[in-house]
Amino acid sequence: MIRRALILAAGRGERMRPLSERTPKPLLAAGGKRLIEWHLQKLAACGVREVAINTAHLAAQFPETLGDGARWGLRLHYVHEGDEPLETGGGLLHALPVLGEAPFLAVNGDIWTDFDFSALPETPDGLAHLVLVDNPAHHARGDFALDGTGRVHADGPSRLTFAGIGVYRPELLDGWRAIIGDAPGADATPPRFKLAPLLYAAAARGALTGQHHRGAWSDVGTPERLAALDARLRAGAGSA
């Protein structure tokens, strides 16, 4: 059973403006709950007990809104990144002191899904295990290919989109600088860098596994997608 999780919630949500100018994107509501509350409920249900939430944009609203997590039977840790978000890779690295040395679950704070987190492996067979979904219209090319053995590759005949859900070993971050190189933000304190290059490097070594979720999933990136999701959930199309 995975005991610790990270919700990535530090982004500015530029595409969600003007809604995100006053409210962090994960705190926007769909179907009568904030996006992040759907995650917290599902994490608690699958046995997670401690959740780190990385924050930057409008950071004070998270503890004000969510408190200590007791209402879900969770203990929340707020990991503030400063005024400038650290991107996904930098965010994971910055949160490692809270997450510990065991594999942990990480989920993007701005998605909605009916995926059952208990279907994830407690220990990845490799450095990370990703959930992949069918390519949405706004991301038709996809991110990775999944073969019949459950291995994830950078390319292949049928590409899928990374759902923003995964189980990671902390060792995935080992040697991050050699992979990132001189990318902008790498020399910042704390460093700021994307996770994707580390995942592609792990895939090239055969150290990345995954699974294909064929159920409901939405990248809630714009006001229009948020409104559409809210309408579906209120109509009973989702029940996560």
For 208, the 3-state DSSP assignment is strand
Measured CA distances, 139 to 105, 133, 193, 221, 223 (Å): 24, 11, 21, 12, 17
Q: φ, ψ for residue 104 (rounded to 5)?
A: -135, 155
Q: How many CA atoms lie within 13 A of 189 on its CB side?
A: 0
Residue 111: predicted pLDDT: 96
Assess contact for 130 and 143: CB atoms under 8 A: no
pTM for the model stands at 0.95
Helix or strand (DSSP H, E) at 176: helix 176-180
Assess contact for 180 and 187: CB atoms under 8 A: no
DSSP characters over 56-124: -TTTTHHHHHHTTSGGGT-EEEEEE--SS--HHHHHHHHHHHHH-SS-EEEEETTEEE---GGGS-SS-
Q: φ, ψ for residue 142 (rounded to 5)?
A: 80, -175
Residue 20: predicted pLDDT: 77
Taking the C-alpha atoms of residue 103 and residue 48, their distance in angstroms, rounded to an integer, is: 12
Ordered per-residue pLDDT tens for the chain, 240 residues:
899 999 999 987 778 888 878 999 999 999 999 999 999 999 999 999 999 999 999 999 999 999 999 999 999 999 999 989 999 999 999 999 999 999 999 999 999 999 999 999 999 999 999 999 999 988 899 999 999 999 999 998 889 999 999 999 999 999 999 999 999 999 999 999 999 999 999 999 999 999 999 999 999 989 999 999 999 999 985 555
Residue 19: predicted pLDDT: 81
Residue 226: predicted pLDDT: 93
Residue 15: predicted pLDDT: 81
Q: Quick one: which of 97, 79, 84 has its CA closest to 184?
A: 84
Q: For residue 82, with 0-12 CB atoms within 10 Å meaning exposed, 13-18 middle and 19 or more buried, which class applies? A: middle
Handedness of CA 87, 32, 2, 111 (dihedral sign): negative
